[in-house]
């Protein structure tokens, strides 16, 4: 792929649409299931290939958080994430990226700091209120 002769095929169209329609943070497999409802013959390999291409082109955002599957996000700009330890739900944090963190680290080390990834973990409202149940699974 030369990144310039990039065609919007039906598969790519549908993958993008589903990613943008979902309230974000889908795993490749979830994207696959959703797309397959509209294009039953699409393959998981195609989904992976195109998610990778989209993210390389900056069309979507690839989340690689700790110890989990990759997730893909229709949004492009950087933001922090918040994960519920009990149900696994992932949400965006309505907080501006703290660039001063990078400045501090650059002052403290001999690295050229190019970015940072910040993830919060905790318990969502639902899971705090239902102490003994697994409220929901997935994104």
Partner DNA sequence: ATAACTGCAAACGTTTTGCCAGCAT
Partner DNA sequence: ATGCTGGCAAAACGTTTGCAGTTAT
Kindly tell me which of 70 and 113 has the beta carbon lying closer to DNA: 70
Burial of 66 (C-beta count, 10 Å sphere; 0-12/13-18/19+): exposed
Q: Which of 37, 45, 94, 109 binds DNA (CB under 7 A)?
A: 45
Q: Which 51-90 positions form the footprint of its own copies (CB under 8 A)?
A: 63-68, 70, 80, 82, 84-85
Count Cβ atoms below 10 Å from residue 90 Cβ, excluding itself: 21
Cα 45 to chain center, whole Å? 18
Which residue shows structure tokens 């190019």? 114
Task: By CB under 7 A, name the one of 22, 38, 39, 118 that touches DNA.
Answer: 39
Distances (CA, A) of 80 to 29, 47, 87: 23, 25, 18
- Name the minimum Å distance from CB 1 to its own copies: 20
| 108 interacts with its own copies by CB under 8 A | yes
Q: Quick count: other Cβ atoms within 10 Å of Cβ 26?
A: 26
Q: Does 95 bind its own copies (CB under 8 A)?
A: yes
Q: Does 98 help bind its own copies (rule: CB under 8 A)?
A: yes
Q: Does 24 bind DNA (CB under 7 A)?
A: no
Residues 98/99/104/109 CA torsion (nearest 10 deg)? 120
Binding footprint of its own copies on the chain (CB under 8 A): 63-68, 70, 80, 82, 84-85, 91, 93-95, 98, 101-102, 104-106, 108-125, 128
Binding footprint of DNA on the chain (CB under 7 A): 1-2, 5-7, 9-12, 27-29, 39, 41-46, 48-50, 52, 69-70
């Amino acid at each position: 792929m030369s990144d310039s002769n990039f065609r919007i095929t039906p598969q790519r169209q549908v993958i993008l649409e589903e990613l943008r329609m979902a309230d974000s943070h889908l795993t490749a497999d979830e994207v696959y299931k959703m797309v397959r409802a509209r294009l039953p013959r699409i393959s998981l390999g195609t989904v992976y290939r195109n998610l990778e291409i989209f993210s390389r082109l900056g069309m979507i955002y690839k989340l690689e958080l700790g110890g989990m599957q990759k997730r893909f996000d229709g949004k492009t700009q950087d933001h922090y994430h918040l994960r519920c330890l009990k149900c696994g739900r992932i949400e965006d944090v309505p907080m501006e990226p703290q660039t001063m963190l990078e400045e501090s680290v650059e002052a403290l080390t001999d690295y050229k700091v190019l970015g940072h990834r910040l993830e919060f973990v905790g318990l969502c409202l639902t899971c705090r209120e239902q102490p003994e149940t697994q409220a929901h699974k997935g994104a």
